[in-house]
Amino acid sequence: MHAHLLIGRDKEKIEKEVEKIGKGLDAMILNFSMQKIEDVREFKKFASFKVAKKTIIFIKEVDTSSSEAANAFLKILEEPQENITLVLSATRESGVLPTIISRCQVRQISSKIKVSENDTNEIEEFLKMNIGKKFLVLEKARKREDAKAFLEKFITIFHSKIISGDSLSPFAKHRERKLEGDSFAENTKYLESAQETLTRINLNGNVSVQLTNFVVQTL
């Protein structure tokens, strides 16, 4: 069994890459979930049968899997089957067990998520707000997809600044006064808080509760 790990937030681009791998191997593609331990058990039942045709098992968002499921899945990686290729996807490498990463060919898939100057200004204004106004803003993002879109935008802005080595807030040039978020440490804190919130929402966590926690963490 060979394994690939595709890292990125562009789901469409990741799926096209999976299709490309499938064509290259002349393999059929099957989708499996790996969120809960029950999912791993179901997959083990499938993998216990010898597969005659080359097959790709595509497992999405393994960075949102429960720790129990991730550890159980590791054992599957250690028991290869000849005609099965695993392709895993994750939005961030840090959310995947190092022992899983070590057994995969890791590839970064660039994200198509783009932020405009207006997006940047909106996030800047959000960070300046008091807790009451922040809650009013996120009240509009009560739907799961709206909440995810907001957090992905937030993550994209902070991630780009951190990897560029810029120790200032991405909004510093627009300000006349320095805010708490201007330090590298604060940028990192905001990024981690947004990533954790997005992960919990992807795991079907209560959107209102997770956004409330996020607001508190950005004070």
C-alpha separations of 112 from 11, 79, 104, 166, 198 in Å: 9, 35, 24, 22, 18
Task: Convert the pLDDT of each residue in 156-197 to its tens digit.
Answer: 887 766 665 554 444 444 333 344 445 677 778 888 888 889
Q: What is the pTM of this model?
A: 0.58
Chain segment 64-94, per-residue pLDDT in tens: 888 899 999 888 888 767 888 999 999 878 7
- Select the highest-mean-pLDDT range: 22-26, 142-146, 150-154, 155-159: 22-26
What average pLDDT does the chain have?
A: 81
Residue 89: which of 1, 12, 203 has the closest Cα? 12
